[in-house]
């Protein structure tokens, strides 16, 4: 079983280049990155500030377009899609957890969870959603508004929403950036559990070695390039690897 | 530069777009106001100038001293003077020339057979005054009339009727007279005195057709000899005049004429326009207030930072107010320029639609510039005051709060205050309308009702949008649901945005309901009291038209198809010192074609000393059949009449009825206003109508109408008025639309991150656009519903108050179709207002939206 999941990639980028601006002020945020995100695994993208990790995630998730190279979700090449198809792809095949402001304030917790499904006009799988609600532990908050929840609870709702439509990949952008370590730990544990128990692919951008340690594998980015990969990470190992970046070589 | 000013200047620069809506709202209101004032001044000056020019040769006017004015008329009726008084006057030392001026109504028929004019401005006829300086009209082409049947007409009238020198046509005086045009004249250098038509005939013809008795004239125009001033002339004339005749200076006479035109036409016209600029500005107030409130709310973080850094409350408040002042002054100044542009445009437009706007420069007075400027600035600053104070109150630590759902509008105190106000409004109104009819009380109630609506707005908006948006969620799924939630986010803001539209729609509905009620009233009047089969009436309202020949009724009576034809003429007399309109007719025939309700006594044999009056007047003067009452006529004579009959319904027949023979000694130009005809048994309406039309053809071809047509034609004027009202109110609705669009744009700016999130998790652009548009429609639906309710209520109050205040019964009618159209216009307006903000929202870049701090 392990071999089959490893053989499939849920998302990948090939020779990804992203340039912001032009002329003298041009910044190469991504400088020829190629990386696969295997299906059914929890991958963390690490790197110092300005390493291009967020840009990589945005491009891989179809939120941003590459200057050159290609990004794939499953067998679909994102560069060929127009705005509408990209939107539909995000809606039907991808889940998102952002650092903050994940929820629509006018909708209740339950409505926020099913938002992508509602936008698609689908009913989704009630048993699946029911199970998700139990996993994130928010059954007693379903009819609350986001403003009535703590930051950690809000992020847990966002995680539930990301998984509600059974997406192929869930992208998380610094999901614990605004949380204290206890709530952060809860959210990360949740992401990992959701990935493993539901066999979903999760890609998380973070700069926090403790967060990265929850992943199955860590890819390291620096100056827009892929510099290393690490399986079975621990916080200490990741920290050591990160320290290496700061030493001028 | 001080800190507050610098802050507001940079804020204005940074947020040009936010203030565009406020700018436009102030601009439109001020431009409309200034344009109205400038146009009013210009018109007044032009008329002054024109009358001054036209009558500069007349130094004194001799006329009857007393005038009888009936309610609803600005110009009294005067008894004529003897025409040969001119000879006496001419003997007075210092008089160079004196000529009688005979004036009456005369309507020319154009080349196509239709009468010229008669829809408002007077259609005048008179003797062509041979002394060039005394004549207000100047011969421009051709010659003066010399033989009977020859006339001079003013150039404007000739052009409208496609007539030229040598043409023969009909002049209705109201008896049709064959006339040949021999000359064209101008008035004060213009083609005519506005839309007034003028026909000048020989003195003999004028005496024959325009006066009741030969040898009478309306006035005697006098020219002074060299070195005699107007006042000296009047002083010398006065001793030479008989009892009851007075002399006034030419200047006074010109002023009276100008005042009359101003009073009848200009002040009505300008008041009308001023009311609408008032409505436009009121609507603008809502929009402006809303813009500032939102801007301040959005800047909470910025203001908090300023306060944390040590800015005082006053500095923060001042910076907002300075910003408002800058917008107010620029928009108002631009509005002044726009107003002058509007006036200039109208000056150019009026002649194009056949209304000869007198030429001349625009009169731009200090008042007509200062007033709109002041109003614009005050409205703008007043609207910004509350938000500015709120800005100053920002707590330094109120920084990192997420603007999410604000339900502060729906407080209990507000609900209680609003309901109290509403109850008070309804109570006062009902009292003013039903219990003890009092128009002021009703008016106060109406104002309170408006206030209650404004206070209750935020409370009502939540409930109303839940209800209105209910079907939306089901029909449009999550897009509709989100739109509904967004509209519910800030009840205060939603209410203020909708408030602007609400007022616009309320005024439109008010006029719609009132207009429909007027029509229903006329319909009811005709169907209740007109028992005849057809009516012949001169198509006119206001002072225009020449009425119908009194001989028409006789001619129609002679037709075999006709049972009864009765002509109704109009006379005036004073009863108990107050001017009253008299109906001059054959009372016995009147009873057969009109339903007069219950009659006590008899309408037969009123003779020359009998009078019939309505129950209402009889009660007022404590009269009953057999009692005597005294009437004073314009000739100063007083006659005692015996009340022979008291009848119930006055509507078409009038309050006082006397016979033709009783009126004959006091009459001026003889004309009927209406001939009512009932057919003999077995005559179909079509056959009867054709016969009457044939007979009427000899009398200048007046219109013959069946009962229904007659009722409808009376309503035609109301439709015309309503069209004008709607055109003007379109401006208010436009401002309201700008307000909605502005609020939405600002709201979208506020929700950038949320919109980005929605897009990221899969909302398509078209879903996003639909969401914004539906929100706009919902807000508009709330405003429209409120406006319809308020407008219908105020319409009801107006109708009931008029009913209580006037003599005749007023019917109340709700026109469902028109109100439905108003509702649809409101909703469409909402959808249109949402278009641009929706487009802008959809263009939003997803990544940037998520990253927005």
Contacts of B479 in chain A (CB under 8 A): 119
Same domain for B509 and B572, yes or no, is no
3-class DSSP state of B45: helix
Residue B1 contacts A where some CB pair is shorter than 8 Å: no
Partner-chain contact B478 A161, CB within 8 Å: no
Which residue among A58, A87, A102 sits closest to B764, beta carbon to beta carbon? Answer: A87
Alpha helices in B72-197 (DSSP H): 85-91, 155-160
Q: How far is B847 from chain A (nearest CA, A)?
A: 6
Partner-chain contact A58 B847, CB within 8 Å: yes
- C-alpha to C-alpha distance for B109 and B474, rounded to whole angstroms: 64
Sequence-distant (6+) residues with CB within 8 A of B685 are: B533, B534, B679, B706
Contact at 8 Å (CB) between B304 and B756? Answer: no
Retrieve residue B764's tokens.
Answer: 């398509």
> What are the tens digits of pLDDT across the range B452-467?
887 887 788 788 888 8
> Does residue B631 lie in a domain region?
yes
Higher local confidence (pLDDT), B8 or A143: A143
- C-alpha to C-alpha distance for A172 and A166, rounded to whole angstroms: 15
Distance between start and end Cα atoms, chain B: 30
3-class DSSP state of B382: helix
Contacts of B764 in chain A (CB under 8 A): 84, 87-88, 91, 119
Which residue among B404, B762, B847 sits closest to A87, beta carbon to beta carbon? Answer: B762
Interface test with B, best of A115, A119, A174 (most B CBs within 10 A): A119
Higher local confidence (pLDDT), B3 or A10: A10
Residue B761 contacts A where some CB pair is shorter than 8 Å: yes
Same domain for B619 and B694, yes or no, is yes
Q: What is the mean pLDDT of residues A174-191?
A: 84
Say how far residue B653 (Cα) sits from the centre of its chain.
27
The DSSP result for B578-638, as a single string, is EEEEEEEE-HHHHHHHB---SEEE-STT-TTTEEEEEHHHHHHTT--TT-EEEEE-TTS-E
pLDDT band at B410 (very low <50, low <70, confident <90, very high): low
Interface test with A, best of B465, B482, B762 (most A CBs within 10 A): B762
Q: What is the mean pLDDT of residues B319-324?
A: 82
Q: What is the mean pLDDT of residues A72-81?
A: 87
Q: What ipTM is given for this predicted complex?
A: 0.83
The per-residue b/e assignment along A200-209, b for 16 or more CB within 10 angstroms, e otherwise, is bbbbbbbbbb
Torsion from C-alpha of B736, B742, B744, B749, nearest 10 degrees: -170
3-class DSSP state of B280: helix
**How many other C-beta atoms can be found within 10 angstroms of the C-beta atom of residue A21?**
9
Interface test with A, best of B487, B489, B760, B769 (most A CBs within 10 A): B760
> Does residue B303 lie in a domain region?
no
Torsion from C-alpha of B207, B208, B211, B213, nearest 10 degrees: 100
pLDDT band at B15 (very low <50, low <70, confident <90, very high): low
β partners of residue B245: B64
**How many other C-beta atoms can be found within 10 angstroms of the C-beta atom of residue B108?**
27
Contacts of A147 in chain B (CB under 8 A): 402, 404-405
Same domain for B787 and B663, yes or no, is no
Q: At what angle do helices B300-308 and B313-352 cross, to 10 degrees?
A: 140
Which residue in chain A has the smallest CA separation from B847? A63
pLDDT of residue B544: 47
Q: What is the CA radius of gyration of chain B?
A: 33
- C-alpha to C-alpha distance for B577 and B44, rounded to whole angstroms: 33
Same domain for B101 and B232, yes or no, is yes
> Does residue B406 lie in a domain region?
no
Same domain for B579 and B642, yes or no, is yes
Q: How far is B508 from chain A (nearest CA, A)?
A: 35
**How open is the CA angle B514-B520-B524, to the nearest 5 degrees?**
145
Same domain for B521 and B650, yes or no, is no
Retrieve residue A125's tokens.
Answer: 């799988």
3-class DSSP state of B353: coil
Q: How far is A75 from chain B (nearest CA, A)?
A: 19
> What are the tens digits of pLDDT across the range A97-126?
888 777 888 888 988 888 888 888 888 788
3-class DSSP state of A63: coil
Contacts of B771 in chain A (CB under 8 A): none
Partner-chain contact A107 B485, CB within 8 Å: yes
Which residue in chain B has the smallest CA separation from A54? B847
Higher local confidence (pLDDT), B408 or B811: B811
> Does residue B169 lie in a domain region?
yes
Contact at 8 Å (CB) between B194 and B356? Answer: yes
Partner-chain contact B762 A107, CB within 8 Å: no
Contacts of A145 in chain B (CB under 8 A): 404-405
Q: What is the mean pLDDT of residues B167-192?
A: 85
Nearest to A156 by CA among A177, A175, A130: A175
The per-residue b/e assignment along B559-585, b for 16 or more CB within 10 angstroms, e otherwise, is bebbbbbbbbbbbbbbbeeebbbbbbb
Mean pLDDT of chain A: 84
Instruction: Look at residue B469 and tell me whether its pLDDT is greater than 50.
Output: yes
**How many other C-beta atoms can be found within 10 angstroms of the C-beta atom of residue B783?**
33
> Does residue B594 lie in a domain region?
yes
- C-alpha to C-alpha distance for B808 and B795, rounded to whole angstroms: 18
- C-alpha to C-alpha distance for B668 and B78, rounded to whole angstroms: 9
Q: What is the mean pLDDT of residues B152-166?
A: 88
What distances in angstroms separate CA B261 from CA B74, B153, B194, B352, B717, one per listed residue?
10, 21, 10, 22, 20
Partner-chain contact B482 A104, CB within 8 Å: yes
Same domain for B462 and B510, yes or no, is yes
Residue B750 contacts A where some CB pair is shorter than 8 Å: no
The residue from B218, B233, B250 where one domain ends is: B250
**Sign of the Cα pseudo-torsion (B659, B663, B664, B667, in order):** negative
Retrieve residue A40's tokens.
Answer: 């059914």
- C-alpha to C-alpha distance for B615 and B595, rounded to whole angstroms: 14
Instruction: Look at residue A245 and tell me whether its pLDDT is greater than 60.
Output: yes
Q: What is the mean pLDDT of residues B555-581?
A: 82
The residue from B676, B698, B720 where one domain ends is: B698
- C-alpha to C-alpha distance for A45 and A41, rounded to whole angstroms: 13
The residue from B250, B280, B300 where one domain ends is: B250
Q: What is the mean pLDDT of residues B67-80?
A: 67
> Does residue B725 lie in a domain region?
yes
pLDDT band at A25 (very low <50, low <70, confident <90, very high): confident
Residue B763 contacts A where some CB pair is shorter than 8 Å: yes
DSSP B712: H
Residue B765 contacts A where some CB pair is shorter than 8 Å: yes
> What are the tens digits of pLDDT across the range B795-819?
888 787 777 666 566 778 788 888 8
- C-alpha to C-alpha distance for B184 and B163, rounded to whole angstroms: 10
Which residue among A84, A92, A105 sits closest to B405, beta carbon to beta carbon? Answer: A105
Partner-chain contact B760 A63, CB within 8 Å: yes
Instruction: Give φ, ψ of B659 to 5 degrees.
Output: -85, 165
Domains of chain A: 40-54+82-246 (3.40.50.300)
Partner-chain contact A119 B762, CB within 8 Å: yes
Partner-chain contact B761 A90, CB within 8 Å: yes
Domain count, chain B: 3
Instruction: Look at residue B645 and tell me whether its pLDDT is greater than 80.
Output: yes
Query: Would you put residue B536 in left (φ > 0), alpha (ψ -120 to 50) or beta?
Result: beta
Nearest to B290 by CA among B31, B140, B499, B145: B499
Contact at 8 Å (CB) between B834 and B740? Answer: yes
pLDDT of residue B334: 92
Say how far residue A235 (Cα) sits from the centre of its chain.
19
Same domain for B440 and B566, yes or no, is no
Q: Are strands B176-187 and B168-172 parallel, antiparallel or unpaired?
A: antiparallel
Q: How far is A61 from chain B (nearest CA, A)?
A: 10
- C-alpha to C-alpha distance for B550 and B557, rounded to whole angstroms: 12
- C-alpha to C-alpha distance for A44 and A212, rounded to whole angstroms: 6
Which residue among B489, B759, B850 sits closest to A106, beta carbon to beta carbon? Answer: B489
Same domain for B728 and B644, yes or no, is no
Residue B494 contacts A where some CB pair is shorter than 8 Å: no
Torsion from C-alpha of A128, A130, A135, A138, nearest 10 degrees: 150
> Does residue B333 lie in a domain region?
no
Partner-chain contact A101 B759, CB within 8 Å: no
Contacts of B489 in chain A (CB under 8 A): 106
- C-alpha to C-alpha distance for B827 and B498, rounded to whole angstroms: 11
Say how far residue B644 (Cα) sits from the centre of its chain.
40
Which residue in chain A has the smallest CA separation from B752? A101
Q: How many CA atoms lie within 13 A of B452 on its CB side?
A: 22
Mean pLDDT of chain B: 80
Which residue among A107, A120, A147 sits closest to B762, beta carbon to beta carbon? Answer: A120
pLDDT band at A6 (very low <50, low <70, confident <90, very high): very low
Partner-chain contact B762 A88, CB within 8 Å: yes
Q: Are strands A201-205 and A169-173 parallel, antiparallel or unpaired?
A: parallel
Cis peptide before B119 (omega within 30 of 0): no
Retrieve residue B579's tokens.
Answer: 């001017």
- C-alpha to C-alpha distance for B241 and B219, rounded to whole angstroms: 13
**How many other C-beta atoms can be found within 10 angstroms of the C-beta atom of residue A234?**
13
- C-alpha to C-alpha distance for B636 and B641, rounded to whole angstroms: 16
Give residue B647's domain range: 550-698
- C-alpha to C-alpha distance for B179 and B123, rounded to whole angstroms: 16
Same domain for B562 and B460, yes or no, is no
Question: What residues of chain A have any CB closer than 8 angstroms to a CB in chain B?
Answer: 58, 63-64, 83-84, 87-88, 90-92, 96, 98, 101-107, 111, 115-116, 118-121, 145-147, 161
Which residue in chain B has the smallest CA separation from A86? B762
Partner-chain contact A104 B767, CB within 8 Å: no
Tell me which residue has tokens 């909605």: B740
Same domain for B521 and B608, yes or no, is no
3-class DSSP state of A95: strand
Q: What is the mean pLDDT of residues B564-583?
A: 81
pLDDT band at B18 (very low <50, low <70, confident <90, very high): low
Contacts of B768 in chain A (CB under 8 A): none
What distances in angstroms separate CA A52 from CA A32, A46, B380, B476, B551, one per listed residue?
11, 10, 49, 40, 102
3-class DSSP state of B673: strand
- C-alpha to C-alpha distance for A155 and B507, rounded to whole angstroms: 50
Same domain for B436 and B511, yes or no, is yes
Partner-chain contact A115 B486, CB within 8 Å: no
Instruction: Look at residue B66 and tell me whether its pLDDT is greater than 80.
Output: no
Partner-chain contact A121 B477, CB within 8 Å: yes
Residue B851 contacts A where some CB pair is shorter than 8 Å: no
> What are the tens digits of pLDDT across the range B421-454?
888 888 887 777 777 666 677 778 877 887 888 7
Partner-chain contact B763 A87, CB within 8 Å: yes
Say how far residue B624 (Cα) sits from the centre of its chain.
40
Partner-chain contact B402 A101, CB within 8 Å: yes
- C-alpha to C-alpha distance for B90 and B100, rounded to whole angstroms: 11
Partner-chain contact B763 A119, CB within 8 Å: yes
Contacts of B405 in chain A (CB under 8 A): 105-106, 145, 147
Partner-chain contact A119 B761, CB within 8 Å: yes
> Does residue B311 lie in a domain region?
no
Q: What is the mean pLDDT of residues A59-78?
A: 87
């Amino acid at each position: 079983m392990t071999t089959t999941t490893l053989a499939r990639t849920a998302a990948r980028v090939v020779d990804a280049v992203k340039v912001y601006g032009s002329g003298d002020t041009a910044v190469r945020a991504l400088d020829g990155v190629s990386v696969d995100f295997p299906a059914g695994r929890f991958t963390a993208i690490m790197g110092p500030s300005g390493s291009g990790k967020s840009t990589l995630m945005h491009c891989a998730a179809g939120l941003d377009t590459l200057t050159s190279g290609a990004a794939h979700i499953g067998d679909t090449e994102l560069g060929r899609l127009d705005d509408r198809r990209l939107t539909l792809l995000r809606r039907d095949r991808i889940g998102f957890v952002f650092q903050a402001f994940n929820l629509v304030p006018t909708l209740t917790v339950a409505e926020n969870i099913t938002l992508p499904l509602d936008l698609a006009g689908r009913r989704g799988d009630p048993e699946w959603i029911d199970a998700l609600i139990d996993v994130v532990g928010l059954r007693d908050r379903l009819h609350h508004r986001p403003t009535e929840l703590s930051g950690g609870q809000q992020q847990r709702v966002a995680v539930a929403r990301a998984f509600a439509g059974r997406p192929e990949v869930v992208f998380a952008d610094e999901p614990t950036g605004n949380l204290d370590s206890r709530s952060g730990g809860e959210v990360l544990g949740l992401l990992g559990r959701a990935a493993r128990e539901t066999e979903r692919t999760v890609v998380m951008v973070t700069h926090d070695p403790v967060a990265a340690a929850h992943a199955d594998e860590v890819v390291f980015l620096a100056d827009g390039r892929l510099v290393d990969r690490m399986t079975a990470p621990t916080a200490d190992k990741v920290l050591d690897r990160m320290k290496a970046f700061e030493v001028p070589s | 530069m001080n800190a507050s000013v610098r802050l507001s200047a940079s804020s204005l620069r940074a947020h040009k777009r936010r203030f565009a809506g406020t700018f436009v709202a102030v601009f439109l209101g001020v431009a409309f106001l200034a344009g109205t004032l400038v146009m009013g001044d210009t018109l007044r000056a032009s008329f002054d100038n024109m009358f001054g020019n036209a009558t500069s040769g007349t130094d004194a006017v001799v006329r009857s001293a007393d005038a009888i004015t009936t309610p609803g008329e600005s110009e009294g009726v005067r008894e004529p003077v003897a025409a040969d008084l001119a000879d006496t006057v001419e003997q007075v030392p210092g008089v160079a020339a004196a000529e009688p001026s005979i004036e009456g109504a005369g309507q020319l028929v154009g080349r196509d057979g239709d009468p010229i004019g008669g829809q408002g401005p007077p259609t005048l006829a008179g003797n062509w005054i041979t002394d060039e300086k005394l004549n207000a009209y100047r011969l421009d082409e051709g010659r003066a009339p010399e033989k009977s049947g020859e006339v001079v007409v003013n150039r404007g009238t000739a052009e409208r009727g496609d007539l030229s020198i040598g043409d023969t046509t009909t002049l209705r005086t109201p008896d049709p007279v064959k006339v040949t045009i021999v000359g064209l004249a101008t008035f004060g250098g213009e083609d005519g005195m506005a839309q007034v038509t003028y026909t000048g005939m020989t003195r003999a013809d004028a005496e024959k057709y325009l006066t009741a008795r030969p040898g009478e004239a309306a006035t005697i125009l006098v020219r002074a000899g060299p070195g005699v001033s107007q006042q000296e002339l009047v002083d010398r004339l006065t001793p030479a005049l008989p009892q009851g005749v007075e002399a006034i200076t030419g200047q006074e006479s010109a002023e009276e004429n100008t005042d009359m035109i101003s009073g009848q036409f200009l002040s009505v016209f300008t008041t009308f326009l001023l009311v609408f600029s008032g409505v436009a500005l009121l609507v603008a107030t809502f929009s402006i207030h809303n813009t500032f409130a939102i801007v301040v709310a959005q800047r909470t973080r910025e203001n908090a930072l300023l306060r944390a850094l040590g800015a005082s409350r006053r500095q923060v408040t001042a910076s907002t107010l300075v910003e408002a002042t800058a917008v107010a002054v620029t928009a108002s100044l631009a509005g002044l320029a726009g107003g002058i542009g509007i006036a200039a445009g109208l000056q150019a437009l009026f002649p194009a639609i056949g209304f000869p706007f007198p030429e001349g420069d625009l009169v731009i007075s200090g008042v007509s510039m200062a007033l709109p400027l002041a109003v614009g600035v005050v409205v703008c600053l007043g609207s910004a005051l509350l938000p500015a104070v709120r800005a100053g109150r920002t707590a330094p630590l109120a920084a990192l709060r997420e603007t999410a759902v604000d339900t502060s509008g729906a407080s209990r105190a507000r609900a209680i205050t609003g309901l109290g106000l509403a109850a008070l409004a309804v109570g006062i109104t009902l009292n003013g309308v039903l219990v003890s009819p009092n128009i002021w009380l009703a008016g106060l109630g109406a104002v309170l009702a408006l206030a209650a609506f404004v206070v209750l707005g935020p409370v009502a908006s939540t409930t109303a949008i839940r209800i209105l948006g209910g079907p939306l969620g089901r029909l449009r799924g999550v897009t509709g649901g989100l739109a509904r939630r967004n509209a519910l986010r800030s009840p205060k803001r939603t209410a203020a945005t909708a408030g602007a539209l609400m007022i616009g729609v309320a005024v439109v509905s008010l006029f719609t309901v009132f207009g429909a009620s007027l029509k229903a009233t006329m319909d009811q009047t005709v169907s209740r009291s007109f028992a005849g089969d057809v009516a012949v009436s001169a198509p006119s309202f206001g002072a225009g038209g020449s009425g119908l020949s009194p001989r028409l009724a006789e001619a129609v009576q002679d037709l075999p198809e006709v049972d009864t034809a009765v002509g109704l003429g109009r006379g005036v007399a004073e009863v108990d010192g107050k001017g009253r309109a008299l109906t001059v007719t054959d009372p016995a025939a009147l009873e057969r074609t009109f339903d007069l309700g219950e009659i006590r006594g008899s309408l037969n044999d009123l003779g020359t000393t009998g009078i019939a009056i309505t129950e209402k007047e009889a009660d007022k003067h404590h009269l009953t059949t057999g009692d005597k009452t005294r009437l004073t006529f314009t000739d100063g004579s007083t006659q005692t009449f015996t009340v022979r009959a008291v009848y119930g319904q006055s509507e078409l027949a009038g309050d006082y009825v006397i016979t033709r023979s009783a009126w004959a000694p006091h009459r001026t130009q003889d004309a009927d206003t209406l001939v009512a005809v009932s057919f003999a048994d077995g005559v179909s309406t079509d056959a009867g109508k054709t016969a009457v039309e044939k007979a009427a053809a000899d009398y200048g071809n007046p219109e013959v109408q069946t009962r229904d047509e007659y009722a409808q034609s009376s309503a035609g004027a109301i439709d015309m008025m309503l069209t004008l009202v709607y055109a003007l109110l379109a401006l208010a609705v436009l401002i309201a639309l700008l307000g909605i669009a502005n609020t939405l744009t600002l709201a979208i700016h506020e929700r950038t991150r949320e919109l980005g999130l929605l897009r990221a998790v899969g909302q398509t652009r078209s879903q996003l656009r639909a969401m914004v548009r539906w929100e706009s429609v919902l807000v508009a639906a709330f405003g429209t519903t409120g406006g319809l309710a308020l407008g219908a209520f105020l319409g009801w109050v107006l109708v009931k108050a008029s009913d209580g205040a006037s003599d005749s019964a007023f019917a109340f009618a709700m026109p469902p179709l028109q109100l439905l159209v108003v509702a649809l216009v409101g909703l469409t307006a909402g959808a249109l207002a949402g278009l641009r903000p929706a487009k802008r929202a959809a263009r939003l870049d997803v990544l940037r939206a998520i990253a927005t701090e």
